[in-house]
Every structure is written in structure tokens, then in C-alpha cells.
Structure 1
Amino acid sequence: MLQVSQRGLAMPLSPYRRLTPFADAAKQRGVKVFHLNIGQPDIETPPTMLAAVQQADIRVLEYSPTAGYPSYRRKLADYYRNVGISVTADDILVTAGGSEAIFFALMSCLNPDDELIVPEPFYGAYTAFSVATGVRIVPVTSYLSEGFALPPIEEFEQRITSRTKALLLCTPNNPTGYVYSRAELEQLKDLCVRHDLYLLSDEAYREFCYDGDYVSAMHLEGADDHIVVLDTISKRYSACGARIGAFVTKNKALQQAAFKFAQMRVSPPGLAQLLAEAASELPLNYFDVTKAEYQARRDLMVRRLRAMPGVECPVPGGAFYVMARLPVDSCETFCQWLLDSFTYDNQTVMLSPASGFYATPGLGKQEVRMAYVLNCDDLDVALTCLEQALAVYPGREVPVAEVAFA
């Protein structure tokens, strides 16, 4: 009898796409759905980047080099130097999005059954990558009530075993928006050096820090062989569909191992590298403008959420996500109900239940992740839908005052 692999059966559905069939059904009924479930910005991809592809004089679309075009890697190295990361083109492997960079990191740094320590909640796809590579995620829980700050370093140390090979974090963080401080990163670096672990740093949102300075793992000293930065242009330039990322490390043996995995897929997308390379032509104030727009969206979302009875959320310091606790019985049930049973002015909102961002069973049941990727007008309407939904949801938590009055 034909059977699907155990790996295939264990592979989880995406926590931010899992409810897509319900959203599609709502749209077929004529309902407008505001997507706060996924980090797909509505900010325009820079026209100069698109023009580089549209105007390319190409007669044969050939394979690019396995590591990526040298010209793009040189310009990417210049970009990194501009943000205080001292690397050369030889330290950079161009990947098919940040996802492939994560995959190469797990394949190159860990063996099957090795352990990867990750602060939770974490980017939901990490679970899928761990299943695909046979790596075991060992979570260290951070808490909404503490703003999702890094847990005490002792909690990380307590989880280290003979199978522990690496620590993975995302800063600014997806899904929490938390930005790890230099002091927190120094603690993690020291831990990795002390126990001979890799420090994998997912830095897809470095341009979007609102309340302090961005610190890269590569800004830390004395740990070059331990550190791998995982990167992507998807969020930086609102170019999610380009699928161009980077695996960056000064560890030559690790870079060579990742290169062999890259040869397996032959080359990263050629046209998309032309688009990414054109980013060097953007005006110097490009990130100032986009950062200000995201900060305005963040401020609107936090203000509206905190005004809703029973809703709790910390102020995210970066990225473009908010994690919030909702006064409902189950966010899984509530988020599906939003799509199949609720409308306000023939509109509704799609959110991501937070349980998919935790490895510890039972956590995140009353939490959601929301992406402030819509313009402020649409975002305001979407949050009004959420506010109206919370008021009438059958499984809402009834405040103590209402129970007493009844």
C-alpha cells in the first residue's frame, strides 16, 4: 500500500496560510477580506528595481553562478558594510529567499536528531524546516506580559545537551516585533562560544527598528566562526516574490558546506538578482520613508488594539508584526469564525492564530499575530472589523464587571 512519508505527515501547515481556504470562500461570497495574517506589504516595490528586469537585454536566460552573480554579491557586501557588517563577496551565498538560507543553515550546521535552541514564539516556518531536516527544536519561552524580552540566559544554558549544536533567533523578531539589544546578543554570543555552538541570526527586518538601534549578530566580536546571518530582500524592498536571500558567514568550512547544498539546486533566480542588484540605485532616504510609514502603522495598530476591551499587546520595537492576547476562548476558533461566520459592512479580517508560532503545546491559545502591512486607512477599517467581531463573538471572555452586573 502506497504511503506518504513520515516526514510528509509530520510537516505542519503554515500558521499564516492555514486558514486561506476559509478566506477564499469568504471572497467567493463577495466579502472583502483584510489580510493581516501574512507579512506581505502593500508598499510599492521600487520601480528602479522592476525596471532592471523589464529593460534587461537578455537573449538566453542562463544559469547564474551557484553562489550568485559576482556583481550582485559585491554590491550586497557594500550594503552590509553600510550597516556596519564587515564582509566580502566571498562571505555571501545568494539564496532563493530567506527560506533557502534557513534550510542551508540547518543542513550545514546540524545533523538529524541534533537540537536547535530557539526562543519562542518564533517564525512559524522554523518548525517546517526542522521537520524537513530532522532537527529537533528546543524552545525557550518568552512571554507577552514581559514584552517578549529574551528569557534569562540561564534558561538557555539549562537546555544545552550533548545534542545541542546551534541557537537560532530572529531580530527584529517575527512574530513578536521584539528587537534584541546588544547586551542580550552578547549574552547569546558568549553562550555559543562557551559551548561551541553556532549562532544563526535571521535578520530579515533590520531596516525596521523604531525605538532603538539595530544590532546584528555580526556586530559582535570574537565569534566569527560561530555566526551565520540569514537574510532576504523580501521585506526590505517589498519584493517578497523575487525570492532572493543570502547566507552570510565568515566561517569558510561552513560556507563551503552550504555551497554544496546550493549546487544541488544549481543556481539562485537570475532575473531576481538583477532586480536586487538595482537596489543600489535607490535614494539614500529610501529606508527613512518606508520606516516612517511602518512606524505610523504600528502606532495606529497598538493604539486601536489597546482601546479594545480585554485586548493586551506590547509595543513592538521593530519588524511589522504585533502579538496580542484576545479575550476569546480560542484564537484558532475565533480566526476561522471571522472568515466563515462574521462580516461587518460586508468586510472581515484574516489573522494568524499564535499557536503555530510556539513549539510548546498549549501556548498561544489566546494570542494572534497581526501584520501591519496595509496602509493606515485600510488598517483602521480592518481593526474596526476586529473590534466589532470581538464584541459579538460567541466564545468571547466576559469581563468580571459584566458578570457581576448580570
Structure 2
Amino acid sequence: MMPNKTPTAQERYKDVSCQHGGYWRDDFIDHNYLYNLYFPPEDFFNHCTEKLHELVLNYPVAQNELAHLTGQLIQQPPEQIVVGNGAAELIKIIAGMNRQMIVPVPSFNEYVNAAPEGKVIEFPLQAPSFQLDVDSFAEEAIRRGARIAVVVSPNNPTSLLVPKAELIRLLKILDEHNCILIVDESFIDFAENGESKSLENDVGDFQNLAIIKSMSKAYGICGIRIGYLLTANKHFRALVQQGLHIWNINGFAEEFLRLAPKYKQQFKKSCEKVQEDRDEFYTLLSLIPGMVVYKPTANYIFCRLPDSGPSAPEATERLFVEHNIYIKHCQGKTLPESDRYVRIASRTKKENLELTLALQTVLERV
């Protein structure tokens, strides 16, 4: 039998670029996945270690108690909450309702990927601004008979926020045409004064509003998978809940929900630290000659690479092979010249500086 051959850097890159997680098993710096590096606190891990046997051996609670626990954390009525195994589970259920759905693109791919064929309308965000034109979006939704409209704010991959006043205006327009607006606020905690930009406290005013939030990103708990839907529309909430199985959340996720309220101040400070690192990172990236860097509101930065340098897929591979750093290129996303764009997650100040220097080196060599 031949001994196992150590893979080359190129082979490792090919393997990693086909994965959807599990990066911690590989020795590289991950500027691809988007999560809070400064949360949860060590106390949470110590608690789970002490309770390991109980968490592994016992059934977790079901949906009613999970909604109650989440409601305590976000200070919203539990009867308006559905808790999912990550936001992805909720997105899959909503997209599978067989209703015509409109989604601005580029955006989080799962909304389009999870929809049945012929049931999704892609609404292109116009370069170079990639800002959502609410009036044009509403007009297209109405013209095409959409029953669900999706807006991710801050958007992924652009890291751009849709102003709250614009979303409220959109809600009022769509309400007259029997269209529910899903606002994905998974990255809102990383926006400056994000709480004031969220629609969570406005849910009770609009029957056609549902908010989705992946807690995995903001709370740094990707491995235990929690997301929630918040809506005052009882019928829509019931439809989503019908798509869940009885124990869709594991014991570790339940325990996090029980403990999270005591960490509120630490969570707030962690998000402020992420914002500080990101803003400094934005300044660093903006110094690279020829690079267009979009001012971010989330914990990642959207960039257009200089025309004179390598394409985004080439630059991404070189960064990995030559510098052991992994970022996300946008080739294949629905946007013009997608092979010129990258999305880079902000990490620590030291790692962000190292990434900036490495990327500049890669871009200077055609």
C-alpha cells in the first residue's frame, strides 16, 4: 500500500473551495466565513464542559420553550417567534412554500438555491452602487405577482444596509399587493447603532413583515446552529413552524439560549470590537491602488479588484497557495463582471493587516 501523500497547496485549495465549513480542521487563516471572533465568552464553554454529559444524554426542549427562551433574549413575544436549526432551515421552509418569491441579487445564495424551479425572480442590483432601489424592486414584485419578497440588510456579499425608512416604505407598498417582506437581519448587530436600524420593534405594526436572523454570525456560534423568524402574522408563523420537526435544536443550542441573556453586555462590547476592527480594515484595504472598496456595515468588506491585476478567482487561489489565507471570490454570483469582486471577512487587527499586505503583493504580480 502506498503511503498517504501530503497534498500540495493547490490540492488543498481545490479541496477547501468545495467545502461548506469544517475549516477549523485545516491550518489556514479563514477570511471567508462571517462570524464574531469575540463571542461567546469563555464562561459559556466552561459551563458546557461541566454539563457535557447532561447535554449529550438528554433530549432538548421543543419549539414552545425555545421560542420563550429566544423571546427573553431579544425581548419579543414568544408567540411571534419560530426557532430554526440556523437561519438556513427557516429559509428552506419559506422558499419551499411554492410561492413566487423575488430576491435582489447578488445576495445570500440560499434564498435562490432553496426555491423550486420557476418560483424565484432575481432582481439585479445595479453596479457600481449595488444599492437597492426600493421603488423599482416593488414595481417588479407587483408586476410579476410575487407573494414573498426578500431583502438581506446588511446585504451579503456587498455589506450594504438598506435604510429603515426605505424598508418601511417598501412594506406599505407590498402590503397592498398581498406580498410578505422577509428582511434578513443576520448582520445588523455589526452595523453602527444597529439596534436603531433593525425592524424587530416594528414587527407588530405590519402583518406582511417577517424578520429572519442567523444567530450563528453575530453570536459566533456557527457550530451549534440557531436562527429565528419573528413575525406578527400568525398564519405565516404557523406555516413555517409546520415545516419543523419536534426536536430541531440540539441541547448545546438550547443551553446557549438559556445563558445568553446574562452575557448581553459582553455581546454588545464584542460587536463594538468587531466594528472597530472592520473600520480599520476598510481603511487599510482602501489604500491598495486601483481597488474599489465598498464602505461596510457588516463584518465583511466587498471589493472590486483592479482591472490591471489578476481576476478574483486567481487572486483568491494565490492568497491561499502563497500566503495560507482564504477569502471568498464572487465569480458565479449574479452581478456584472463577477470575476472582479471579492468578499473579505474582517478578523483581528493583526490578521487584517497581514491579509492587506498579502493581497497587495498578489495584485502587484500579474
Which bin holds the TM-score, normalised by the shorter protein? 0.7 to 0.9
Q: Deviations 1:234-284 (Å, cap 9, x if unpaired)?
A: 122211111111122222222222222102x643212221122201111x4
Instruction: Call closer, same or farther: CA 1:98–1:384 in 2, change over 3 Å.
Output: same
AA in 1 matched with 2:79? D
From 207, 220, 228, the equivalent of 1:225 is 207
- The 5 Å alignment of 1:160-239 reads 160-210=142-192, 214-220=196-202, 224-239=206-221
Measure the CA separation in 2 of the matches of 1:137 and 1:47: 42
State the match for 1:80 in structure 2.
Answer: 74
Unaligned runs of 5+ in 1: 1-17, 25-30, 82-86, 395-406
State the match for 2:261 in structure 1.
Answer: 280
State the match for 2:111 in structure 1.
Answer: 126
Q: Deviations 1:124-162 (Å, cap 9, x if unpaired)?
A: 3333222xx44633233334633x322241243134345
Q: Is 2:308 aligned against 1:335?
A: no
From 77, 87, 91, the equivalent of 1:98 is 87
- The 5 Å alignment of 1:6-405 reads 21=15, 33-56=28-51, 58=54, 61-67=57-63, 70=65, 72-81=66-75, 87-107=76-96, 110-111=97-98, 114-130=99-115, 133-134=116-117, 136-143=119-126, 145-146=128-129, 148-210=130-192, 214-220=196-202, 224-263=206-245, 266-282=247-263, 284-316=264-296, 318-327=297-306, 328=309, 330-340=311-321, 343=322, 347-358=323-334, 362-372=336-346, 374-392=347-365, 394=366
Unaligned runs of 5+ in 2: 1-11, 19-25
| Paired residues of 2:80 and 2:237 also in contact (CA < 8 A) | yes
| Paired residues of 2:105 and 2:123 also in contact (CA < 8 A) | yes
TM-score by length of 2: 0.84
Measure the CA separation in 2 of the matches of 1:157 and 1:336: 40
Q: Secondary structure at the match of 1:234?
A: helix
Q: Deviations 1:327-348 (Å, cap 9, x if unpaired)?
A: 14531233234334xx2xxx24
| Paired residues of 2:38 and 2:220 also in contact (CA < 8 A) | yes
TM-score by length of 1: 0.76
AA in 2 matched with 1:127? V
Query: How far is 1:377 from its partner?
Result: 0.6
Q: Secondary structure at the match of 1:177?
A: coil
Query: How far is 1:37 from its partner?
Result: 1.6
Instruction: Call closer, same or farther: CA 1:266–1:128 in 2, change over 3 Å.
Output: same
Q: Secondary structure at the match of 2:362?
A: helix
AA in 2 matched with 1:67? Q
AA in 2 matched with 1:36? H
Q: Secondary structure at the match of 1:242?
A: coil
Instruction: Call closer, same or farther: CA 1:267–1:33 in 2, change over 3 Å.
Output: closer
Measure the CA separation in 1 of the matches of 2:198 and 2:17: 37
Over the residues paired in the alignment, what is the CA RMSD in angstroms?
2.8
Measure the CA separation in 2 of the matches of 1:40 and 1:336: 22
Query: How far is 1:197 from its partner?
Result: 0.5
Number of aligned residue pairs: 345
Instruction: Call closer, same or farther: CA 1:217–1:210 in 2, change over 3 Å.
Output: closer
Measure the CA separation in 2 of the matches of 1:288 and 1:40: 14
| Paired residues of 1:351 and 1:369 also in contact (CA < 8 A) | yes
AA in 1 matched with 2:15? P
